[in-house]
Structure 1
Amino acid sequence: MSVYSEQIQNQLKKLIHHSDGLVVKAIGKRIAVCYMTGMIDTAQLNLNLLGRLPVKEHIESLDKLLDYIAIGDCQRFEQLTDAVDKLISGFAIVTLEGANGGLLVNVVNIPSRSPGNAETESTIYGPMIAFTESMENNIALLRSYITSTDFMQEAIQVDSETGTLANMLYMKEEDASPFVEIIRKRIRKRKMKGLIGSPLFLQLLADNKYSLFPEMSLSERPDRTAQALLEGKVVVMVEGNSQVIIGPNAFIDFFHSVEDRYSTWGIGMFTRFLRTFALVLSIFLTPMYVAALTFHYEMIPMPLLEPLIISRSRVPFPPLIEALVMEISIELLREAGARLPTKVGQTMGIVGGIVIGQAAVQAGFTSNTLIMLVALSALGSFTTPNYMMGSSIRLIRFPMLIAAGFLGLIGIAFFTAFLCIHLLRMTSYGKPYMYPMYPPNKKGLIDTMLMTVPSLFSYKTDLASSNIRGWKTRLSRWFTSDSEAE
């Protein structure tokens, strides 16, 4: 190694705090090439960079040195301190003795897996490919769906400590939309240290981070992401993550599956109504059982009352405690099945549910009727296509159960009213969360039922405030015709 290369090596080691992995190669006496092991494409480094640099020929400037490098992505830098972040990211540094600064050469090859099948959003129809942890590959997948010059890509740094980058993707015709500017400002403003996962970044972008309901969704499917872009939504892609953030979203968007668009309108509409029915069933079925047995025996038909009394004759607990025990048992089985290996987890869920349910009935801890109702409620929550929304629904059942156990139907009515008020007040980047149900819009409802492209974001409204204003102003604004609104 030449004297010049040793000097460059010592300077870089100080900048990276003497961390291992730094490699410095001397090309003659005046050129040094530096890179981090494991982060570079070895073949490209040897063939297009190291193998082409002159060993004996005298080079006077960095501009002439560029003529020997067969890699297009080369950048100039003035100080080594400016190039350390790129060095750690996988770039190679080329310096020349006597020249100010040096060259950053893109030979990045971060280990990543090949695109595979979607696991959390699996479907029967349509493409099966999913995003990977490589941002370049993910953007290439999206560009294979949207071959338009209107497809915009904007890179923003979201974490100064880890150097994590985020790409904001949107269609050009939506550039004037306030959503793009709002998300751009929030990305630049709400930075944090140690930002690695997309779900963590999603919480920073939300209007109301303390709400149980998600305002933006995560997706690992390029086809769903491309459809969202064409609908006027904004996509945020965080480096090193296989899931992208899509928003803004309305409440009803979380119950739309990718598969609905690949089915006929009749089948798609039926499955959406089925999920809506499952939502109501999951939230209200078990609380109604508790309220009826605790306060409202008169509402139970006589043919059902006798089997219920016989079923509960050996149960020593009140209906509220009985229901809470069974709901918690279902959640424990679900969590255990999710954390165990795939084959063991499936067996644990099936066998554990049967064994625990049968043992609980024989021991007198619960009744057969409640086991069936709790199982139906759990199935109803699992029909939600979006995992975050499904988790929120499962969590809501517990306060609803407690309200039913203490106040009966009055408690259910009060908690339902509280939920409705909360949902009606929520916004997603200023847009009403419950659109098109509130503010009511007939065209939006028809689009939602018939699976046409939603018109949620074609209306240009005032988004200066994220709070929903008076109902009279909203109704007068949203009941305008489509031509006037546009």
Structure 2
Amino acid sequence: MSAFSEQIESQLKSKLHGSEGLVIKSLGGNIVVAFMTGMVDNAQLNLNLLAPLTKNDQCDSLETLSEMIPIGDCKPFDQLSDVIEKLLSGFALVLLKGKDGGLLVNLANIPSRAPSNAETESTIYGPMIAFTESMEKNIALLRSYITSDKLIQEEVQLAAEPHTSASLLYLDEKEKNPFVELIRKRINKQKYKGLIGSPLFLKILTDNKYSLFPEMSLSERPDRTAQAILEGKVVVMVEGNSQVIIGPNTFADFFQSVEDRYSSWGLGMFNRSLRAIALIISIFLTPLYVAALTFHYEMIPMPLLESLIMSRARVPFPPLMEALVMEVSIELLREAGARLPTKVGQTMGIVGGIVIGQAAVQAGFTSNILIMLVALAALGSFTTPNYMMSSSIRFIRFPMLIVAGFLGLLGITFFSAFLFIHLLRMTSYGKPYMYPFYPPNSKGLINTMLITESSPFQYKTDLTRSNTKGGKSRMTKWFKSNDEE
């Protein structure tokens, strides 16, 4: 046996000491096979690897050895560092005594579930299938939507312990996609320790790490992911995660549902307008109630003021405390419902809300009007299609309530101005977060509010277009990438 073969076997035994799953078999002649039990497909191992090698156990070159194995993913190797990682990923190692190097044969049998219906992004219209935890299956699902040779899959290695695989997916076009290089730089710049999931990876890729508002979105739907790629965005897939990362995104992107694309333009515009109204209701409704009752009750019409006084006659708390208690109760119900099994959680959320609300009114802890306002604000936040943005909106309501309780309408005005300034300053991979509202763009505004037959797939948005007929994109004169500054 050559020094190389002996070195490989010695390394396997030393690195994997104590592991009963390691199997090293000598096939009588000059061939040695090593694999991890439980990580390889036994049927493929016996039929397509051990059987042909046993029949032809005398071999004098790696090329001949490769031709004997009827498996497509069969690669030569000559680096010792590649062996352990591949062996633990379901590959079998084939060594030829007296030769330097060997073959790595993919026999991986990693447990994975079959594709199922989308849970966090469910729709009434359109496809229902969702990604799984297998990156190989996810890429196959995505390619079933984009049957084009322009779809590029680029594997990237995360500097993590344990090792984590990821892939960048984007369109290969004449115009160079500026976001691909930025993502590569940020991936190579970071070092991680521990398991890397898509939500954690998303934090690493963002421009504004301390902002409450998400810049990249997570999706479990292949159709939405394919649509994003066709619009010029970049998708990051992480092995072992059923959600992919899509970016860059604007503020308006988080309020667009996949279902809008399958609806008529009128219905789609109505739904998006309804979400915009729901956003305003969710953030401002209860703070305005607190500000009006605490500082500005003279602005309330007399009939409505009489109703408010009657409903609050037995309430011992000031409006701020009353509203905070009810908002916290709603969040507790939501969190408890999310952690319980699906059917139990839905029942508990509905019944618990009714029982607690009715009991609170009868006990004099709150008023009927506030119960209605808090419920409307909660419903408004739930209309946001993106869960991360919905969570941010619910969180913002609490500081807005506090400033309304202490400063009234003046506090609401100042806090709203602070939020708007923050949003206008934000970028997503160097591009303005509030596009197409700022910088203003008429075509972008039309595409944001209206859904036409040409808008979803036939052209990229100005946000993701790196070049235009006039040379550089109009967007590049407004902002530069944070990585380039």
- TM-score, structure 2 normalization: 0.92
Q: Please report how far the alpha carbon of residue 5 of structure 1 lies from its aligned counterpart in structure 2 after TM superposition.
A: 9.9
1:290·1:320 contact (CA, 8 Å) conserved in 2? yes
Identity of aligned residues (%): 73
Residue identity matched to 1:456:
L
Q: Please report how far the alpha carbon of residue 79 of structure 1 lies from its aligned counterpart in structure 2 after TM superposition.
A: 4.5
Q: 1:333 to 1:14 in 2, by over 3 A?
A: same
Q: 1:374 to 1:57 in 2, by over 3 A?
A: closer
Given the alignment of the two structures, is residue 247 of structure 1 paired with residue 247 of structure 2, yes or no?
yes
Residue identity matched to 2:70:
A
| Counterparts of 1:424 and 1:401, CA distance in 2 | 23
| Counterparts of 1:259 and 1:177, CA distance in 2 | 27
Matched ranges for 1:221-300 at <5 A: 221-300=221-300
| More divergent stretch after superposition (7-16 vs 356-365) | 7-16
Q: 1:379 to 1:468 in 2, by over 3 A?
A: farther
| Counterparts of 2:149 and 2:78, CA distance in 1 | 34
The 3-state SS of whatever aligns with 1:92 is strand
**1:192 counterpart residue number:** 192
Q: 1:468 to 1:423 in 2, by over 3 A?
A: farther
2:429·2:481 contact (CA, 8 Å) conserved in 1? no
| Counterparts of 1:102 and 1:6, CA distance in 2 | 12
Residue identity matched to 1:122:
S
**1:458 counterpart residue number:** 465
**2:92 counterpart residue number:** 92
Residue identity matched to 1:162:
P
**2:403 counterpart residue number:** 403
1:159·1:194 contact (CA, 8 Å) conserved in 2? no
**Which structure would you say has the larger RCO, counting Cα contacts within 8 Å and 6 or more residues apart?**
2
| Counterparts of 1:230 and 1:30, CA distance in 2 | 52
Q: 1:353 to 1:319 in 2, by over 3 A?
A: same
Q: Please report how far the alpha carbon of residue 20 of structure 1 lies from its aligned counterpart in structure 2 after TM superposition.
A: 3.3
Residue identity matched to 1:138:
N
2:381·2:394 contact (CA, 8 Å) conserved in 1? yes
**1:217 counterpart residue number:** 217
**1:476 counterpart residue number:** none
| Counterparts of 1:245 and 1:20, CA distance in 2 | 37
| Counterparts of 2:212 and 2:290, CA distance in 1 | 24
- TM-score, structure 1 normalization: 0.92
Residue identity matched to 1:158:
L
Is there any run of 5+ residues in structure 1 with no aligned partner, and where? Answer: 470-486
| More divergent stretch after superposition (82-91 vs 173-182) | 173-182
The 3-state SS of whatever aligns with 1:170 is strand
2:235·2:245 contact (CA, 8 Å) conserved in 1? yes
Superposed CA RMSD: 2.0
**1:113 counterpart residue number:** 113
| More divergent stretch after superposition (47-56 vs 268-277) | 47-56
**1:19 counterpart residue number:** 19
2:159·2:190 contact (CA, 8 Å) conserved in 1? no
Q: Please report how far the alpha carbon of residue 174 of structure 1 lies from its aligned counterpart in structure 2 after TM superposition.
A: 6.7
1:286·1:323 contact (CA, 8 Å) conserved in 2? yes
Q: Please report how far the alpha carbon of residue 165 of structure 1 lies from its aligned counterpart in structure 2 after TM superposition.
A: 1.1
Deviations 1:398-441 (A, max 9, x none): 00000000000000000000000000000000110000001111
| Counterparts of 1:159 and 1:240, CA distance in 2 | 16
**1:481 counterpart residue number:** none
Q: 1:40 to 1:56 in 2, by over 3 A?
A: closer
| Counterparts of 1:8 and 1:257, CA distance in 2 | 53
Q: 1:47 to 1:244 in 2, by over 3 A?
A: same
The 3-state SS of whatever aligns with 1:43 is helix
Deviations 1:309-359 (A, max 9, x none): 111111111100110000000000000000011121111101111111111
Q: 1:54 to 1:262 in 2, by over 3 A?
A: same
1:260·1:268 contact (CA, 8 Å) conserved in 2? yes
**2:353 counterpart residue number:** 353
**2:326 counterpart residue number:** 326
1:28·1:56 contact (CA, 8 Å) conserved in 2? no
Residue identity matched to 1:410:
L
Q: 1:170 to 1:388 in 2, by over 3 A?
A: same
**1:484 counterpart residue number:** none
